[in-house]
Chains A and B, each alone.
Chain A
Amino acid sequence: MSKVSTLRRAVAALLFVLAAAPAAAQRLLVPMDDAQQDHLKAYGIMYNALKDGLSGEWLLNYRGGAFLLPDTPELRKRAALAGVTVEPMDDGQLGSIRAQIANSNMDAVPLEKAPRIAVYSPPEALPWDDAVTLALKYAGIDYTRIYDDEVEHGDLSKYEWLHLHHEDFTGQLNKFYLTYREAPWFIELMQQNLQAAKRLGFANIPALKKDVAEKIRQFVERGGFLFAMCGATETLELAIAGHDVDLAGAYIDGTPMDDDADRKMDWKRSFAFRDAHLEHSPFVNSMSDIDGHQVNVPGRRQPLGTFTLFNFSAKFDPVPSMLVQNHRAVVSDFYGVTTSFTRAVLKPSDVILAEEPGAPWVKYLHGDYGKGTWTYYGGHDPEDPQHAIGNAPTDLSLHKNSPGYRLILNNVLFPAAKKKPLKT
């Protein structure tokens, strides 16, 4: 081999090393606009980086709500494995981005600590899935499943973020008794809940669930982040406001619902709603008039439309801004046991994050309560608008860019944001 050839190889090797080694100030930009190949896994990259002790930034309203991370070989590796698009940024490029952010409705929010996540869900397999656990699993975000025993034993204090999905906190098992009373899964579900109630010292299922709801209320009051979807939103509110009221039909607790229940509800205790009217008939598959769509009630069901995300001021309303970061402003609606929230029952302090323009309902809500926050997102599965009991769970590898699922994952990350003084 000639000397020239050897020299050439050495130079080439050196150039390769220089090109491959990141400069000290380099960052990885995770774009969240249409350039991103897998929006959902991008959240997992960000969350796990925080979990590993790295810090990052959420560039609100910049390229669909992009993330900025340190450029490390490990993060590049994770992004490559997950199929997440990343763009290396040098100081010059970064300066240009920061200038653009400073002069627009954008902001860079530091993200510091990954929240500890709990999902309230029964340990037994049920014939429906939960969009949040599907999203967390797909994104590779760890969570702990907890249920009544753990809540009653005070385990909520171990977590910062809690998700609820399908639970009926009025203890009426979503009134599935009407149609599924003979289904083996329902019989088993009822038995397990009854046993749990007995084991934990409650007279019946409604009493247990209302106590669980109360502990969740206290969790938020103490500073926890609550994210609920589907029927859990509405029933949690009813259970909290109706803590001292018999809300359940005779089929579940032996006594009919209190005729005067509407009047006795204490809405000061609840997070989001007020003055809702309860559905008194045990034979109508609805809990109250909180849900605008009433999907399971013949004659009341409303058609699905689309909902529009609000564009908040990133610099003045960073939390709502984080919750609506998306690469789409208009998203197709989807049904759930509770699909939407009637405007007439919203509290004045509620922040509407998404609504169906012109419709008497909204889709996505947020608010503060005590030292914590709550967020409600109506519907069951953003990628299966009419998800029925027994349907196969959604395969998110087929919906990597789902704007509806992004809203769920925004909720997982926003508790990681470092609070900074409001700009005035």
Chain B
Amino acid sequence: MVRGAWCVARGPLLLVLLCAPRDALHAQRDTVNAQQPDTTAFYKALELESAGKYKEAAPLFRMALNTTSAVSALLGLERVYAELGWSDSLLAPLDMLIRRSPRENVYRSVQLRTLQSLGRDDKLHAAIDRWIAEVPGDPTPYREYSRLLLQRGLTASADSVIRQARQRLGSSNDLQLEIAQLRAAMGLWEESAQAWRLALATSPYLEQAAIYALTPTPPATRSAIRQVFLAAPIDVASRRALAGLEVGWGAPSEGWLALKDLPPDSMSAAAWTDFATRAEAEERWPLARDALVAALRWRRTPEATLRAANAALRAADPGTALVLLPPEGPNAPVVTDSARAARTTVPIQARALAMVGRPAAAERLVARYDRFFTPGARTALTRAIALGWVRTGDMARARASLSTTGTEGDSSDAAGWLALYEGNLRTARVLLRTSAETTPELATALAIIARIHADSAPALGRAFLMLARNDSAGAATAFVEAADRQAVGEATSILLATGAQLRAALHDDTQAITLWRRIVEQESTTPEAPSAELEWARALRRHGDAPAAVARLEHLILTYPQSALVPQARRELDLARAGIPGTT
């Protein structure tokens, strides 16, 4: 109101002042029109800028302001002036450009940036006021200004700009992105999440920005963020953002929960596939399987089916792999190219059959496609089938299966595993040592048999056999039984540690602690002792018995001061004593 009165009072004077420049502008525009097709100056300026010749580039960018490349030229001029420390020289051309094209937001944004970088706050406010007055009802000026303030960390000022926008525009719907960023900068995480949700509803491409802004949310506040993004109605972009946040927070399983109940459509399928790709890269096979199977609900392609079956197989879920790729029956995929099938579906099907205890079916399938396999692929499948026979307990068939691959079969690591299952350590030691495998199971087997001097240990073979049959509880017991045999000698502690590890993986901490205690108390000079004591302490802390955990950790640090585990033990000790903040 006051401003309006002032303008009326000064009106005639202003008109007089503006006439001359406007005439000049018309004249300039005529020149511009004549030059418009010529963008040579602009490209020459870019070359000079790339070469670091800012002084030479500046006049050419200025010249290009009068061509069709004016917007790009202005941005170039802004860059080179900033390099030269001449940003104030940008103000005059900006005034001219804004008068010429008042609706061009880039000019306005550059003007605000320049005034802010020069610290000319009064002129900055005046420029904002002019912009707002010239485009009433347009949220852009508020948006640009609040972004500028946020970049400088001026959250309170940004907040007041947004409040002003809400007042003048009657709504802040068009400013949700800025509100979201502002609230995150203020540590108002839940409010930020609410604004992000609204922003994502209209601009799904902001997903990564939302993840970036909300990742620092403290653990105590994360459940509120989850509620915001999980609330009805389901919005795919918000769910994708939540999944990304969960992965960043170290809880990828929670990430899948955010996505699993999306309605099957193209957007959801893209979300599931993207999530699966990340899970595959991180070898989180159960999550990859679930996401890929969900994506098949929308569109079933041979490639997607194969990928899902492979993930299922790697997730130790052969049943699902066989449901997805049935090797026979009415639902079997039509295989028109046998060579291709031998490279893609058949190996998965055969491995899955062997894993579910149907090695005979696997053998038949492999035999059907035998001529299409490379020698390497055939050997690998034969080993898988042999292990299938092992799982069924038929060692003779396993050996027979391996023999089909000739002499190589007898000297392969699969033969080494068979020897180990039979307790023949002498052979196992030789064959497994040369294995190309790098699995944790092989590392454990080699570590154990290296510590046993005897050539035969049937009890140990039984333990590994149970492990191969996925009987973890039985294997844990069998490893302890093997440890009790005289023949294992120096391997007692590692066998007990393996048993404890299996018990812990089965969430049977009571049994695991019994074994760790035995190692610490009876095998205190072995390499497994400090590691067992650390695991024991961790289990105690998990169960809320901090004093007992502290006692164990102190014992570990004082008893094994040279152990590489001491730094970890000290950290655990700090956590148990609440000397440092927890990380969950």
- The judgment on whether A and B are partners is yes
For the complex, what is the distance from the CA of A90 to the CA of B157, rounded to whole Å? 64
Q: Known A179-B159, A285-B156; judge A397-B571 contact (CB<8 A).
A: yes
Q: What sequence of 0s and 1s flags, for each residue 366-392 of chain A, a beta carbon within 8 Å of any chain B beta carbon?
A: 000000000000000000000011111
- The answer to whether B154 touches A396, judged by C-beta atoms less than 8 angstroms apart, is no
Which stretch (B31-39, B167-175, B185-193) binds chain A? B185-193
Query: Are A390 and B221 in touch, CB under 8 angstroms?
Result: yes
Out of A138, A179, A183, A301, which one reaches B580, CB within 8 Å? A138
* Alpha-carbon distance A285/B554, docked complex (angstroms): 48
Residues in A neighbouring B119, C-beta threshold 8 A: 299
CA distance A391 to B119 in the complex (A): 30
Whether the pair B155, A397 counts as a contact (CB closer than 8 A) is: no
Contacts of A82 in B (CB 8 A): 570
Interface residues of A in 381-424 (CB under 8 A from B): 388-397
| A298 CA / B566 CA spacing, docked (Å) | 48
A397 touches B121 (CB 8 A): no
**If the complex has contacts A80-B561, A138-B579, are A388 and B152 also in contact, measured as CB distance less than 8 A?**
no
Q: Which of B156, B554, B566 contacts A296 (CB 8 A)?
A: B156
A298-B156 contact in complex given A140-B579, A390-B187, A390-B221, C-beta closer than 8 Å: yes
28 A-B pairs with CB atoms under 8 Å apart are A80-B561, A81-B557, A81-B573, A83-B567, A83-B570, A129-B581, A138-B574, A138-B579, A179-B156, A179-B186, A180-B186, A182-B191, A285-B156, A298-B154, A298-B157, A299-B119, A299-B121, A301-B153, A388-B185, A388-B187, A389-B187, A390-B187, A391-B218, A392-B581, A393-B581, A394-B581, A395-B581, A395-B583
Also in contact, A179 and B155, with CB within 8 A (given A80-B558, A298-B149): yes
A137 within 8 A of B: yes
Q: How far is the CA of A180 from the CA of B182 in the complex (A)?
A: 12
By a CB distance below 8 angstroms, the chain A residues around B186 are 179-180, 389
Closest chain A CB from B530 CB (angstroms) = 14
CA distance A301 to B119 in the complex (A): 12
Contact flags B283-319 to A (C-beta < 8 A → 1, else 0):
0000000000000000000000000000000000000
Does A127 lie at the interface of the complex (its beta carbon under 8 Å from any beta carbon of B)?
yes
- In the complex, residue of chain A having the shortest beta-carbon distance to the beta carbon of B157: A298
Task: Collect the chain B residues with CB atoms within 8 Å of residue A13's CB.
Answer: none
B interface residues, Cβ below 8 angstroms from A: 119, 121, 149, 152-157, 159, 185-189, 191, 216-219, 221, 554, 557-558, 561, 566-567, 570-571, 573-574, 577-581, 583
Report the contact-size class of chain A (Cβ under 8 Å from the partner). 20 to 34
Enumerate chain B residues within 8 angstroms of A298, measured Cβ to Cβ: 149, 152, 154, 156-157
* CB-based nearest A residue for B189: A390
A: residues with CB less than 8 A from B are 77, 80-83, 127, 129, 134, 137-138, 140, 178-180, 182-183, 285, 296, 298-299, 301, 388-397
Across-interface contacts of B554 in A (CB, < 8 A): 81
Residues of chain A with a CB closer than 8 A to B571's CB: 397
Q: How far is the CB of B569 from chain A (nearest CB, A)?
A: 9
- Chain A nearest CB from B362 CB (Å) reads 51
> Which of B157, B159, B188 has most chain A Cβ within 10 Å?
B188
Residues on A with C-beta less than 8 A from B218 are: 127, 390-392
**CA A393 – CA B153 in complex, angstroms?**
21
CB atoms of B189 and A395 under 8 A apart: no
Beyond A180-B186, A298-B154, 4 extra complex contacts between A and B, CB < 8 Å = A81-B573, A138-B579, A391-B218, A392-B218
Q: CB-nearest residue of chain B relative to A398?
A: B580
Across the interface, which residues of A come within 8 angstroms of B561, CB to CB?
A: 80
Do B154 and A137 have beta carbons less than 8 Å apart?
no
Taking CB as reference atom, which chain A residue is nearest B557?
Answer: A81
CA distance A138 to B580 in the complex (A): 6
Chain A neighbourhood of B187, CB < 8 A? 127, 183, 388-391
Q: Which residue on chain B has the smallest CB distance to residue A138? A: B579
A48 CB to nearest chain B CB (Å): 13
Are B574 and A397 in contact, with the CB atoms below 8 A? yes
Which residues of B sit under 8 angstroms from A394, Cβ to Cβ? Answer: 581
The interface centre, meaning the residue of A134, A296, A390 with most chain B CB atoms within 10 A of its CB, is A390
When chains A and B are docked, how far (Å) is the Cα of A299 from the Cα of B581? 35
Q: Which listed residue (A77, A129, A134, A390) contacts B558, Cβ 8 A? A: A77
Please give the distance in Å from A251's CB to the nearest CB on chain B: 14
Are A137 and B216 in contact, CB atoms less than 8 angstroms apart? no
Question: In the complex, A140→B576 CA distance in Å?
Answer: 12
Q: Which 5 pairs of residues, A with B, have the shortest CB-CB distance?
A: A390-B187, A298-B154, A389-B187, A393-B581, A298-B157
A388 to B155, CA, bound (A): 12
Output the residue of B149, B557, B581 with the most chain A CB within 10 A.
Answer: B581
CA distance A394 to B157 in the complex (A): 28
